[in-house]
A and B are shown apart, each in its own frame.
Chain A
Amino acid sequence: MPVELLEGERETILSEVENTLQDKEKTRENLIPILQQVQKKLGYLPGLAMEKIGEALGIPAVDVFGLATFYDQFRLNPPGEHEIKVCMGTACYMTGGRIALDSFKRKLEINEGETTSDRKYSLERVACVGCCTMAPVVVVDERIEGHVTATRVDGLMLELQGEAGKEDHAEEEREEEQEGEEREEIQEEGEQEQ
């Protein structure tokens, strides 16, 4: 399920693609490095970016899309605010990586490779993060969590939602403050007029 573009995202995509293309020779050999750089900037490869890159390099968009889906590195969905990666290397699989993945799927109501519609969370499986001793491993944003069980998943989600809750709350407060200031200003203006 493709996620809809946010307001102003179209312009960002177009300008980033243009920036990347500027200092690169437009050859087929540079296609992968260009895609890598665009993904680095945008966090993912939107359809629009692939079309534009194809156009600039004289490669049909379908070819670019084929390449992007062939390689694991490229993602077609925007990353969530919190990126959750479940390790599915051999050691993690054997010790219950699948259970952790299932738990996240159940909690977030999305499948692997998808992003929640509010773009808060994205869920991915990765091949091996190289800390097999701590299996099963989950990487939440940059933090590595070892020995993850179903209850730990619940705990992690509570923690993330707690943070999000705090942020929302802080924003509300900030808004209230601003409103308050505005009101004061109006009052001051009123006083001046008097």
Chain B
Amino acid sequence: MSTVSVSESYAELKSAAEEKYNALQDTPVIMVGTASCGKAAGADKVKEAFEEEIRAKGLDARVVEVGCMGHCYAEPLAVVSKPGFPGLCYANLDEGFVKRLVDDFLINDDPCYEYAMVALEPNEVFPTFSDFPRGVYEHKIVLEHCGFIDPGDIDQYIVEGGYEALSRALEMTPEEVMEEINESGLRGRGGAGFPAAEKWEVAREAPGDVKYIIANGDEGDPGAFMDRGILESNPHLVLEGLIISAYAIGAQEAYFYIRAEYPQAVERTREAIRQAKEKGLVGPSILGSDYDLDVKIFQGSGAFICGESSALVKSMEGHMGMPEQRPPRLSISGYRGKPTVVNNVKTLGYVPHILRKGAEWFRGIGNPDSPGTVVFALVGKVNNTGLVEVPMGTTLRQLIYDVGEGIPGDKQFKAVQIGGPSGGCLPESALDIPIDFDSLREAGAMMGSGGLVVLDEDDCMVSVAHFFLDFTQKESCGKCTFCRLGTKHMLDILERITRGEEEDLKVLDHLQELAEDVRAGSLCNLGRTAPNPILTTLRYFRDEYEAHITERCCPARMCPDLITFYIEPPKCSKLCSVCVGSCPTEAIYTREDGLKAIDQEKCVKCNNCYLTCPPEYLAVVKLSPPELLEEKEGKSS
């Protein structure tokens, strides 16, 4: 044992970090959100513009890249903190606005309140996040620092109390750490909701000295980016959780499994590990204790099935990611045949918070059976898209209408798709269900990894089911017959329904039966949950299926084979030719009388004329079933 205790070495790290930040306190800081979502909206240009302006004006200010604060609808975002003012967040920035901010705020002390979105700290002049409806419902734990600290600087994380939990854990015995997590009731956030501590205990008690722990960041849902957001915005939080968990189960090697498609997440995590090594938080005798741990990154190659832990382990061993029959459980025999724990990155993100604030605190948030919060990627037909974190037990209605601020364009809510491709679609009547593992399962959906897509009246539920099944069918690893062939067969049926080729309602019973068989006959959760989109849409939206079959009508006017575009002569203005120009296939022509018409042979149903027809005319309509066209044309001629 070294002479310096763990807490003393931590205190040393912390005071060094504080010193560094105190020295910087008098300099204004501009934090630009450059996670993938911000970059897509042009954050790089905004950052360059800030740097350029500050250099040109010879100012003393720092420009820092931070991650995502969850308000993706308002990107590019930047936070300007100038001594004497509260930190102010500005949304939808561009280069011109950057110039103005530098001139007016940094040089002249006018914070341009009329353009600010929100203030970070409570103050007397400007509202903060908690003054907005979203702030009332949100409770940030895992996302707490995301977007507000520099993911590339370990010192800032330490100043905010980072790695304190690790130093506490190392002064406890592994059993005590495990007991604390067990008390907190933390359940795995990867989807199934398995108690985290139970997994650890099995691995801890499994025979053998070599044990592994893996942080599962193989997020493959179309439309979900929570894990990526966290790794890009605060990789140290997950790393700290990983080290603590590794200590609890007695592992000497820990891995991050991150998709290679997330290059920025990989890069920022790699940098985090490097800095932690430098500070003696990873590697031999961590913080002067006698515990050693090596942390590595494995880049996943993009197979949805690899989110399943036994498939993930298979792929790390250089094989195709196919799930294995259990038992033996991974915590007995996993990676290289050794006891292995696979935890989702969000699960690990809670661990440092629980150790710092105690199990009691964690149990006090959310439901008794599902304590804590839940992170969602809120997307689709909702005003405020982005990453949100709410306590378990919040209702779907609160999440969509209060946090998400409702549906754009006064459209009618139709359904919410929750849990990614293997989740289910819930209708309006289910909106008051509290969000937790068990209630959602009862309703036929599941928590999944946390994708939440809001659908409105323009979305066809058969087509939605088809979309998700198409995804799971392609991602099926092919091991179990039911999943491999059953999903394909169901997909074929849905395809025929969306094309109007099915005429007998019996096909729906057949579909239901097949879906139940696939669920019963598959080994892993991909196959077991793949039928969920079909089962829930059949349960809640059967009338839409029936309309497709009996009337060849798509009520949402979405399935291309069941709709025809038509220009209503009484509404068409002869003088406007917008639709003619918008048509990519030149299917729209001007008739002899000056009205526009569509050549159905040439039309590819791209929806362009429908979108471009000016709002004062709205002459382009979608007819379903397509046979309505003859009727209409008969009348007009």
Chain A positions within 8 Å of B, measured between CB atoms, are: 27-33, 35-36, 66-67, 70-74, 88-91, 93-94, 96, 99, 102-103, 106, 126-134, 137, 144, 146, 149-151, 153-154
Choose among A29, A137, A150 the residue that contacts B606 (Cβ–Cβ < 8 A).
A150
Does B223 have its Cβ within 8 Å of any Cβ on chain A?
yes
User: Which residues does chain A contribute within 8 Å of B385, judged by CB atoms?
Assistant: 91, 132-133
7 smallest CB-CB distances across A and B, nearest first, come from A90-B223, A71-B301, A131-B40, A72-B302, A150-B606, A132-B379, A28-B318
Q: Is the CB of B72 within 8 A of A36?
A: no
User: Which residues does chain A contribute within 8 Å of B612, judged by CB atoms?
Assistant: 151
- Interchain nearest-CB distance for A130 vs B (Å): 4
Q: Is the CB of B467 within 8 A of A106?
A: no
Q: Is the CB of A67 within 8 A of B611?
A: no
Give Cα distance in the complex from A70 to B582, angstroms: 40
Choose among B39, B223, B318, B320 the residue that contacts A29 (Cβ–Cβ < 8 A).
B318
Choose among A27, A33, A134 the residue that contacts B41 (Cβ–Cβ < 8 A).
A134
Choose among B228, B380, B582 the residue that contacts A94 (Cβ–Cβ < 8 A).
B380
Q: What is the predominant secondary structure among interface residues of chain A facing chain B?
A: helix
Choose among B40, B260, B381 the residue that contacts A73 (Cβ–Cβ < 8 A).
B260
Give Cα distance in the complex from A90 to B459, angstroms: 11
Give Cα distance in the complex from A134 to B464, angstroms: 19
Q: Is the CB of B317 within 8 A of A90?
A: no
Does B455 have its Cβ within 8 Å of any Cβ on chain A?
yes
A-B contact pairs, 28 of them (CB 8 A): A32-B299, A36-B299, A67-B318, A70-B303, A71-B303, A72-B301, A73-B260, A73-B302, A90-B379, A90-B453, A90-B468, A91-B223, A93-B467, A94-B381, A94-B459, A99-B607, A102-B606, A103-B584, A103-B604, A106-B585, A127-B471, A128-B221, A128-B225, A132-B379, A133-B385, A146-B40, A150-B582, A151-B608
Q: Is the CB of B301 within 8 A of A32?
A: yes
User: Which residues does chain A contribute within 8 Å of B359, judged by CB atoms?
Assistant: none
- Which residue among B36, B40, B385, B451 has the maximum number of chain A CB atoms within 10 Å of its CB? B40
Give Cα distance in the complex from A36 to B260, angstroms: 9
Give Cα distance in the complex from A94 to B36, angstroms: 21
- Interchain nearest-CB distance for B117 vs A (Å): 15
- Which residue among B377, B379, B453, B582 has the maximum number of chain A CB atoms within 10 Å of its CB? B379
User: Which residues does chain A contribute within 8 Å of B468, judged by CB atoms?
Assistant: 90
Give Cα distance in the complex from A154 to B39, angstroms: 25
Closest to B455 in A: A94
Closest to B68 in A: A130
Does B129 have its Cβ within 8 Å of any Cβ on chain A?
no
Does B543 have its Cβ within 8 Å of any Cβ on chain A?
no
B residues 400-436 touching A (CB-CB < 8 Å): 417
- Interchain nearest-CB distance for A93 vs B (Å): 5
Give Cα distance in the complex from A27 to B316, angstroms: 12
Q: Is the CB of A150 within 8 A of B380?
A: no
Closest to B232 in A: A130
Does B315 have its Cβ within 8 Å of any Cβ on chain A?
yes
Interface string of B286-301 (1 = CB under 8 A from A): 0000000000001101
Does B37 have its Cβ within 8 Å of any Cβ on chain A?
yes
Does B321 have its Cβ within 8 Å of any Cβ on chain A?
yes
Q: With A133-B385, A151-B584 in contact, do A71 and B302 touch (Cβ < 8 Å)?
A: yes
- Interchain nearest-CB distance for A58 vs B (Å): 12
Q: Is the CB of B260 within 8 A of A130?
A: no
Does B319 have its Cβ within 8 Å of any Cβ on chain A?
yes
